[in-house]
Structure 1
Amino acid sequence: MGPRRLRIAAWLAAMLLAGVAVAAPPRVRIETSAGNIVVQLDAERAPLSVKNFLQYAADGFYAGTIFHRVVTGFIIQGGGYQEDLSLKPARAPVANESGNGLANHRGTIAMARSADPHSADAQFYFNLADNVALDPKPTRWGYAVFGTVVEGMDVVDEIGHRATTSRNDLADVPVQPVVIRKVVVLPDPGS
């Protein structure tokens, strides 16, 4: 092969490789009064949940919400209530993606919902343990996992050990509120 053909072949190979480049999974930093939590989101397996969460983050919705439910050894839940325990109005719910192959293992983030499997909107929770009971079964829906903690699991654990009480018809409310200051979408490390 002559030099001209080698240059053309190298150029074609470079163009093909450039077209194959895949963006890194999105990451967010949840800044709380207890410290920061960095989460890598799985947009490939939970596209609706990730898009929903990122839109709430972009809108600044989570600023001033709290972790209103702390169950030691189980979960910490937040993203819907404010410090006075008033519920922030959320957008329409997203479809349940619990059958996406992601499990409710320790350190994962998932969509909180009511008994209606398709009722998840803004609220989310972190798993403090492997909670297989929250995964889907052939006869029922589960809770959709959409990411994993990559930094700040110590913060999640610390929140998970907070003393709790009952307030305004809610159980397991931390005595000392943990406020979400903001959720920041982090830049792609490859860009």
Structure 2
Amino acid sequence: MKKAIIETEKGNIILELFEKDAPKTVANFEKLIKQGFYDGLTFHRVIPNFVIQGGCPKGDGTGGPGYTIKCETKGNPRKHGTGALSMAHAGKDTGGSQFFITHSPQPHLDGVHTVFGQVIEGMDVVKKIKVKDVMKKVTIVEE
């Protein structure tokens, strides 16, 4: 199993990544993590009982890695339940580096955003995250 660990001041968020269901999205996330792209970035958007969102190098939701990736929603059985890791975008096939984690089930996002992981530890940390909280370090672990 491939996992991502997001280290914050409030604790760690451990995510299982769904390589089988969203291979290109996971590969992009892993590439950015290995480049250190996310280290030091903030969660720029936090909506209680909805989502926390991060991965914008500008810190305001308008930035990305300088390219976009295609959505992997077709044939992806993963849903936006509590703790879903999903790609943020400004419209179909415009994702890049920004992602969000759901506080609670968000079925209206199913089939619109690519779910590519799930919180397996640290949901309490997700719920404590506030705007401008920093991702100190993000790493990939293979088990």
TM-score bucket (shorter structure): over 0.9
Q: After TM superposition, which residue ranges in structure 1, 4 or more long, deviate above 2 angstroms? A: 85-89
Q: Hey, what does 2:4 align to over in structure 1?
A: 28
Match 2:15 to one of 39, 46, 60: 39
**What TM-score do the two structures reach when normalised by structure 1?**
0.70
Indicate whether 1:151 and 2:121 are aligned.
yes
5+ long unaligned stretches in structure 2: none
What is aligned with 1:139? none
Change in Cα spacing, 1:107 to 1:89, as seen in structure 2 (3 Å) is closer
Higher relative contact order (CA 8 A, sep 6+): 2
- 1:133 lines up with 2:108 in the alignment: yes
| TM-score of the aligned structures, taking structure 2 as reference length | 0.92
Q: CA separation in 2, counterparts of 1:75 and 1:97?
A: 20
| Aligned match for 1:184, one of 117, 139, 142 | 139
How far apart, CA to CA, are the structure 2 residues paired with 1:90 and 1:52?
10
Question: Match of 2:83, as an amino acid?
Answer: G
Aligned residues: 142
Please say if residues 68 and 81 of structure 1, whose CA atoms lie closer than 8 Å, have aligned partners that are also in contact: no
| SS of residue matched to 2:135 | strand
> 3-state SS of the aligned residue for 1:102?
coil
Higher alpha-carbon Rg: 1
Name the CA distance, whole Å, in 2 between partners of 1:88 and 1:59: 17
Percent of residue pairs bearing the same amino acid type:
34
- What does 1:57-136 correspond to in 2, within 5 Å? 57-81=33-57, 85=60, 89-99=64-74, 100-114=76-90, 116-136=91-111
- Show CA shifts across 1:56-100 (max 9, x none): 0000000111000000011000011456x5965514211111231
| RMSD between aligned residues | 1.6
Label 1:92 to 1:156 Cα distance change in 2 as closer, same or farther (>3 A).
same
Answer 1 or 2: which has greater helix percent.
1
